Amino acid sequence: MKDQIDELAVFGGTPAFQEKLYVGRPNIGNREQILQRIADMLDRRWLSNNGLYVQDLEKRIAKLLDVKHCIAICNATVALEITSRALDLTGEVIVPSFTFIATAHALQWQEITPVFCDIDPVTHCLNPWRIESMITPRTTGIVGVHLWGHPCNTEALTEVASKHNLKLMFDASHAFGCSHNGTMIGNFGDAEVFSFHATKFINAFEGGAVVTNNDDLATKIRLMKNFGFAGYDNVTYIGVNGKMNEACAAMALTSLESLDEFTQINYRNYKCYQSELAGIPGLKLYAHDEAEKRNYQYIVVEMEESVTQVSRDQIVKILHAENVMARRYFYPGCHRMEPYRSYFPHAGLLLPETERLTERVLVLPTGTAIDESDIRLICKILRFVLAHGISIRKQLQSALKPAHFAENQGEFQCTKH
C-alpha cells in the first residue's frame, strides 16, 4: 500500500497491480461447454442462417424475460437500426446524450436526426419531464436508455409517447436480467434492444437481440434481419444481414447458463465497493435498487471536485498508472461528438445535467476477473489520493508543466518552419 505521495505509480512508484484490471473484461462461463457446443456446430456444419443454437437462444431469452418474441441479431447497433426502421421512425427522434454513441449513430445512419434531451441527475436516465418541450412536428419517436441496468421512468415515457402519438423503444444494452416494478426489462415500449457484446456481463462474443410483445413488429424485424426473405427465393421486404451466427449463439447460451453466477459475483463486488468507499467526502457510489432484479454490471462513482480537490480525469490518470483501467463514461456526451457537435453546436445549453455528469462519472472494474482483495486495494488507493488531494493535485500540475511547455514549443517550431 502507498504511504507516501511519491510512491504513487504516476510519480514513478511501482504500480499496485502487475496486470491491468479492465472495466468490462469478458466473463467466460463454462469453457468446456462452449468448446463442446462449437465442436457440435462444426460437426453439423450449420454455421449461420437461423441455426439450432440461435433458435434455442431466442426461446430461452423469451422465456426468461416473459416476452412473446426474441430476435437474435449480429450486434446491438444493427438491432437498433433494424428496429428503428421497422418502427417507421423518420424525421427526429428524442434520445439522451448521456449514452454510448451507437444509440445516436443508429438513428443518424438512417438520416434520422437524434434530438438530445437532458437526463435525471439521480437515475442518469432520460428525463421524461424535459421531453415535451423538444417535440416538433417532425418528431416520430423516443429512445430511452436503461443506464447502468437502472430502468427509465417507463410509465412517464409511455404517457408522453401515447399523448403525442410517438413510437417508444428502449436501448436496454445495460439491462439484461433486470426488472422494473417486478416486470422484466424487455416488456416496455414497442420494443427493447439488448447487447451481448464481449464487455457485457452476458456476452455472445459479439451480438444483440430485439425483444417485443408486438406480433407484427416481430415478423417485420425477422424479415429485415435476413434481407427480407420470407421463404426460399421469396423476398417481400427490404432488409440487411443482421443474423447472429451459431458460434456467437453458442457463447451466448453458455453465458446465459452462468447468469446467476455472474450476477452473484457482480453483487459481491458491488457490496465490497459499497463498504470500502463509504464515508469518503466528495465521492458517491451509484446505488442499485436491491429490491429489484439487477445485474450489478457497472460500478459507477460520481466525484465532486470541489470537495475531493482532485479532478475525475486526474483520478483516471492516477489509477491507470496503478494498472486500474478505470473509465469515464460517457465523456464528453454524444452532443459533443461528430457529427452532432457540428449540427448542434449549442446543444449543451439544453443539457446542464448531462454536461455536469460527463465531468463527474468514474467507472471501476468489476466482474469475474477481479476479487474482493483487488477491490479493497483499489479503494485504498482512492482513499489515499483523496486524503491528500491538494498536495497530489499540485504535484500533478507541476509534473505536467515541462511537458506542456515542450509541446507548445514544438508546435511553435512547426508553425514557424
Tell me the per-residue pLDDT of 200-214, one tens digit each, with 9 for 90 and over.
Answer: 999 999 999 999 999
Model confidence, pTM = 0.93
Query: Is 94 inside a domain boundary?
Result: yes
Q: Residues 322, 14: contact at Cβ < 8 Å?
A: no
d(CA 387, CA 338): 38
Query: What residue type is assigned to position 6 of the chain?
Result: D
**pLDDT digit string (tens) for 282-298?**
999 999 999 999 999 99
User: Do residues 226 and 341 both lie within one domain?
Assistant: no
Which among 205, 246, 259 has a CA at the least distance from the CA of 53? 246
Query: Is 416 inside a domain boundary?
Result: no
User: Do residues 205 and 272 both lie within one domain?
Assistant: no
Query: Is 324 inside a domain boundary?
Result: yes
Query: Is 398 inside a domain boundary?
Result: yes
Which among 295, 314, 324 has a CA at the least distance from the CA of 25? 324
User: Do residues 193 and 266 both lie within one domain?
Assistant: no
* Domain boundary, last residue among 210, 225, 257: 257
pLDDT at 410: 42
DSSP 205: S
pLDDT at 1: 67
d(CA 361, CA 312): 7
Q: How many domains does the chain have?
A: 2
User: Do residues 9 and 39 both lie within one domain?
Assistant: no
Considering only 231-235, 329-333, 346-350, which range has the smallest mean pLDDT?
Answer: 231-235
Query: Is 415 inside a domain boundary?
Result: no
Query: Is 63 inside a domain boundary?
Result: yes
pLDDT at 401: 59
Q: Residues 354, 333: contact at Cβ < 8 Å?
A: yes
Rounded to an integer, the average pLDDT of 344-371 is 96
Query: Is 414 inside a domain boundary?
Result: no
User: Do residues 314 and 331 both lie within one domain?
Assistant: yes
pLDDT at 400: 64
User: Do residues 92 and 18 both lie within one domain?
Assistant: no
Judge residue 63's burial from the number of C-beta atoms within 10 Å of its C-beta, 0-12 exposed, 13-18 middle, 19 or more buried: exposed
CATH number of the structural domain spanning residue 183: 3.40.640.10
User: Do residues 270 and 282 both lie within one domain?
Assistant: yes
CATH number of the structural domain spanning residue 349: 3.90.1150.10
Rounded to an integer, the average pLDDT of 239-265 is 97
**pLDDT digit string (tens) for 93-120?**
999 999 999 999 999 999 999 999 999 9
User: Do residues 193 and 300 both lie within one domain?
Assistant: no
**pLDDT digit string (tens) for 137-162?**
999 999 999 999 999 999 999 999 99
User: Do residues 263 and 248 both lie within one domain?
Assistant: no
User: Do residues 9 and 113 both lie within one domain?
Assistant: no
User: Do residues 307 and 361 both lie within one domain?
Assistant: yes
Query: Is 109 inside a domain boundary?
Result: yes
The residue segments making up the domain with residue 173 are 31-257
- Cell 457463447, residue? 251
Peptide bond preceding 330: is omega within 30 degrees of 0, i.e. cis? yes
Q: Could you confirm whether 394 is annotated as catalytic?
A: no
* Domain boundary, last residue among 257, 291, 315: 257
Per annotation, catalytic residue among 20, 68, 163, 200: 200
Q: What is the mean pLDDT of the chain?
A: 94
Judge residue 3's burial from the number of C-beta atoms within 10 Å of its C-beta, 0-12 exposed, 13-18 middle, 19 or more buried: exposed
User: Do residues 219 and 288 both lie within one domain?
Assistant: no
